[in-house]
């Protein structure tokens, strides 16, 4: 079986001799057709990904076709096109018992804690497959990154008419913007890249753009009636940005960390307390978020064609990966295509 292994920091190896997956009880064998490349993969390649060990087969933004499956309650069968929920939870810990499977105490994410889908076939629990009839393979693979944004927005409980500041115009931040807009919020996009900010406006419908390098506080206040936003989402994965984000939250507001950084975050407690601010972490997503994304994609509410900007086949990926890391490549989302 063909696939790509991240053997150590900044080292990929293409292999044609990977072992075939074995189908255990309650599992299916899925032939992989699409693999989205995300920040987790980039961090793993550069050695900056928490909860990570080498060697590892990356890939958790996945779509494919079921090749083998036993009779199951979901009615899934061989030949069905599916998306994959890559968060393997235990089902019995305190988080799982309370429906928060996204932060299971024994969480194993495909492509992070266990080998992922950057290969021709993978064994997946049937419970983690979503039939994606009516969606393209590209759309099915993009359910996962968009579900992360949808989960963050749902967790924030933002209401119609509220103002959301989303810091970071990458794939996850764009998803946050799209779902905040879908819930009726005014959306402000903040980033360092002016071209990326324009994409936030045109693709996600951001109402205001703020360049983080050019008096961001002044621009933010001037464009929002001299008030700070009631909900701030930081999707940068930058410790500096995540610490600075406290400054942008209104009194009584919320700060939601969507991005993850391998560092400590500090803040000034008196400012935090005087605002009675709520600080939230938002990790992964749950099946409900995948279903919500799928409904919006089916309704034409998300333009996947513009979201995916770069493509490669499996045997081309290693040669192109380093270029995708460079800002001048202007990658929003890169996709690896298999047959």
The answer to whether residue 301 is domain-embedded is: no
On whether both 118 and 202 belong to a single domain, the answer is: no
On whether both 31 and 119 belong to a single domain, the answer is: yes
Nearest of 320, 196, 327 to residue 336 by alpha carbon: 320
On whether both 318 and 203 belong to a single domain, the answer is: no
Q: What is the dihedral of CA 124, 128, 129, 135, to 10 degrees?
A: -130
**Residue 228 sits in which domain range?**
148-281
The total number of structural domains that make up the chain = 2
Helix/strand/coil percentages in the chain, nearest 5? 35, 25, 40
On whether both 185 and 248 belong to a single domain, the answer is: yes
On whether both 98 and 23 belong to a single domain, the answer is: yes
The pLDDT, as a whole number, for residue 327 is 85
On whether both 245 and 136 belong to a single domain, the answer is: no
Q: Tens of pLDDT along 248-294? A: 999 999 999 999 888 999 999 999 999 999 999 999 999 999 999 99
pTM reported for the whole predicted model: 0.95
On whether both 137 and 7 belong to a single domain, the answer is: yes
CATH classification of the domain holding 237:
3.40.50.720
Q: Tens of pLDDT along 35-85? A: 999 988 988 888 887 778 899 999 999 999 999 999 999 999 999 999 999
DSSP E strand stretches across 19-60: 27-37
Nearest of 144, 78, 75 to residue 116 by alpha carbon: 144
Q: What is the dihedral of CA 210, 214, 218, 220, to 10 degrees?
A: 10
Nearest of 3, 314, 299, 324 to residue 139 by alpha carbon: 299
The pLDDT, as a whole number, for residue 326 is 87
Residue numbers in the chain where pLDDT is lower than 70:
none
Task: Supply angle C-alpha 286, 289, 294, rounded to 5.
Answer: 130
On whether both 121 and 238 belong to a single domain, the answer is: no
The answer to whether the bond into 55 is cis (omega within 30° of 0) is: yes
On whether both 95 and 156 belong to a single domain, the answer is: no
* DSSP symbol at 165: E
On whether both 181 and 263 belong to a single domain, the answer is: yes
């Amino acid at each position: 079986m063909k696939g790509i292994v991240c053997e150590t920091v900044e080292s990929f190896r293409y292999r044609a001799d990977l072992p075939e997956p074995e189908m255990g009880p309650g599992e299916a064998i899925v032939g992989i057709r699409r693999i989205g490349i995300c920040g987790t993969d980039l961090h793993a390649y550069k050695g900056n990904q928490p909860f990570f060990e080498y060697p590892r087969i990356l890939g958790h933004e996945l779509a494919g076709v079921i090749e083998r499956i036993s009779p199951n309650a979901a009615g899934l069968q061989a030949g069905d096109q599916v998306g994959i929920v890559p968060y393997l939870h235990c089902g019995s810990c305190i988080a799982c018992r309370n429906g928060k499977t996204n932060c299971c105490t024994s969480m194993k994410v495909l492509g992070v804690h266990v080998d992922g889908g950057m290969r021709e076939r993978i064994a997946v629990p049937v419970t983690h497959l979503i039939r994606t009839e009516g969606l393209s393979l590209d759309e099915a693979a993009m359910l996962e990154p968009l579900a992360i944004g949808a989960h963050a927005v749902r967790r924030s409980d933002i209401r119609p008419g509220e103002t959301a500041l989303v810091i970071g115009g990458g794939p996850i931040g764009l998803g946050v913007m799209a779902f905040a807009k879908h819930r009726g919020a005014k959306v402000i996009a903040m980033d360092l890249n002016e071209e990326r900010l324009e994409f936030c406006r045109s693709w996600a419908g951001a109402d205001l753009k703020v360049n983080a390098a050019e008096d961001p506080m002044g621009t933010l206040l001037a464009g929002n009636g001299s008030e700070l936003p009631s909900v701030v989402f930081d999707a940068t994965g930058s410790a500096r940005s995540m610490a600075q984000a406290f400054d942008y939250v209104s009194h009584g507001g919320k700060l939601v960390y969507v991005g993850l950084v391998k560092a400590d975050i500090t803040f000034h407690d008196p400012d935090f307390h005087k605002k009675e601010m709520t600080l939230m972490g938002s990790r992964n997503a749950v099946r409900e978020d995948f279903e919500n994304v799928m409904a919006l994609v089916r309704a034409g509410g998300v333009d996947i064609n513009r979201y995916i900007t770069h493509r490669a086949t499996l045997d081309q990926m290693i040669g192109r990966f380093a270029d995708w890391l460079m800002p001048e490549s202007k990658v929003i989302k890169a996709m690896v295509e298999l047959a």
